[in-house]
Amino acid sequence: MSLKSRIKMKENRKDWTKEEVLELYNKPLLELVFEAAKVHRENHDPQEVQVSTLLSIKTGGCPEDCGYCPQAARYHTDIAKNDLMSVQTVKAQALRAKSSGSSRVCMGAAWRNVKEGEDFDQVLEMVRTVRDLDMEVCCTLGMLTEDQARRLSDAGLYAYNHNLDTSEEHYKKVISTRGYEDRIETIGNARKAGLTVCSGGIIGMGETAIDRAAMLVTLSCLKPYPESVPINALVAVEGTPMEEQEQIPIWDMIRMVATTRIVLPKTTVRLSAGRTQMTDEGQALCFMSGAGSIFAGDKLLTTPNPDINKDMELFSTLGLVPQKAYKKGDKPEVNENYKNSCSNGGKVKWSRPGHEIEANISATQSAKEKRKLEVK
């Protein structure tokens, strides 16, 4: 099925510059919120919010050095490494999520990149199984090739998540084990397979407002730009290089949501990690500013998240209702070719920039010392 028939979103493009986005971001807050609210109502039903469930199907043990992530094997956090979930366990959790109001399940695996083999075959069966429950299925599995994206699409995947995280410039201060260009290439591979794209970032990692603006410009230049953009507030986890980062003010989150809404008018802005640190009033302003989705459940992969009952109470107070599945795109057809790999068996050469990030090295060394003490 063609991308055109899969996606109902129409482009409303403006060639934004970093300076224009920064000027927008720095507008007086209430003026910014008002403008964003108008754009939101012109392009979306302001009473509907998509409820998604993020499920960690394989936790911990990741070889990457992302400075914010407690799943990196090199850091000492309280995240236990778990094997890949079974298809039946995923189905049971998806049914539970659906009964609580979720219309989308996003399955995340702590992998650097997708590798051919039994684990990937199992993920493909998970995708088909959840799709057959009439739920949108999203995956975030790390970097993937064009053929792997094709197999996911054939299995019934609706969206692929691969965040840019931050600006290309600041990215080099956060991650050294993969390049920014790998993220762009992975998004391109998802597009070639006809998948919708979910890609956003994290604020509160020590970046500047200019970095936030630059990330939005990069997203706006993708053709087409992502159908959904998660905006995460950093959740500082003990043992990671960013454990001492201060919590960002709620006003920063509101500004980022509102700016994203104006720059990317047709996209679904996802209010993602960090909601446990927000008041109901803060979240309400985010919804008013254009947030059209939340992640439900007690955890977002490994970080805390508000209870679904509390979310539903807030929805009731604000007059919001959960969005039904496939409201903004057609349900994918399944092609049995998902069971067949067209790969020639060769290894993909993803980049390894190899530059040193002092905070990441320090956290890695600290983890080694703590593990030695635990052995004693």
Catalytic residues: 62, 66, 69, 106, 138, 198, 270
Tell me the one-letter amino acid at 137: V
- Cβ atoms of 133 and 97 within 8 Å: the answer is no
Residue 245 DSSP class: P
Cα 35 to Cα 38: distance, rounded to the nearest angstrom: 5
Q: What is the DSSP string of 91-157?
A: HHHHHHHHHTT--EEEEEE--SB--SSHHHHHHHHHHHHHHTTT-EEEEE-SB--HHHHHHHHHHT-
Distance CA 205, CA 286 (A): 20
SS3 state of residue 268: strand
Three-state SS string over 64-107 comes to: CCCCCCCCECCCCCCCCCCCCCCHHHHHHHHHHHHHCCCCEEEE
Pairing of strands 303-304, 136-140: unpaired
Neighbours of 230 (CB within 10 A): 26
- Regarding beta strands 299-300 and 303-304, do their DSSP bridges make them parallel or antiparallel, or are they unpaired? antiparallel
Three-state DSSP state, 304: strand
